[in-house]
Amino acid sequence: DTGVSQDPRHKITKRGQNVTFRCDPISEHNRLYWYRQTLGQGPEFLTYFQNEAQLEKSRLLSDRFSAERPKGSFSTLEIQRTEQGDSAMYLCASSLSRTGQRGTDTQYFGPGTRLTVL
């Protein structure tokens, strides 16, 4: 399978605990995105990376959230001191961006990590 993979698929935690999610993008994709989706809504952008550089963060990404993409490969999203409002599906996507071809890059999504904070 050469698609985007995410681990774990489900995570149940108690309020106040820290959690970390992992995303493995499609090989050679230089852009990686994190989104959050709550029930009945479309995904909302959290942050994105161009190779290893984190280029944009949404205001939704409070200081309890941190994301990394070491060496421009896989990425991790950590949530510290989880709150019940963090319960959502966390989606990762990747795309291949080519210089001078803005608008041609399709974002491919992984299966998501469903977080439940009790």
Question: In sequence order, what are the beta bridge partners of 33?
Answer: 48, 93
Nearer Cβ to other proteins (80/114) = 114
Both tokens of 19, joined, read 């959690």
Nearer Cβ to other proteins (49/117) = 49
Number of CB atoms found within 10 A of residue 73's CB: 13
Strands of 75-79's sheet, edge to edge?
5-7, 19-24, 75-79, 65-68
Under DSSP, the state recorded for 63 is T
Nearer Cβ to other proteins (58/80) = 58
Closest distance between other proteins and the C-beta of residue 81, in Å? 26
Nearer Cβ to other proteins (18/40) = 40
Closest distance between other proteins and the C-beta of residue 16, in Å? 26
Q: Which residues bind other proteins (CB under 8 A)?
A: 4, 6, 31, 33, 35, 40-45, 48, 55-56, 58, 91, 93, 95, 97, 102-112, 114
- Distance CA(83)–CA(107), nearest Å, equals 29
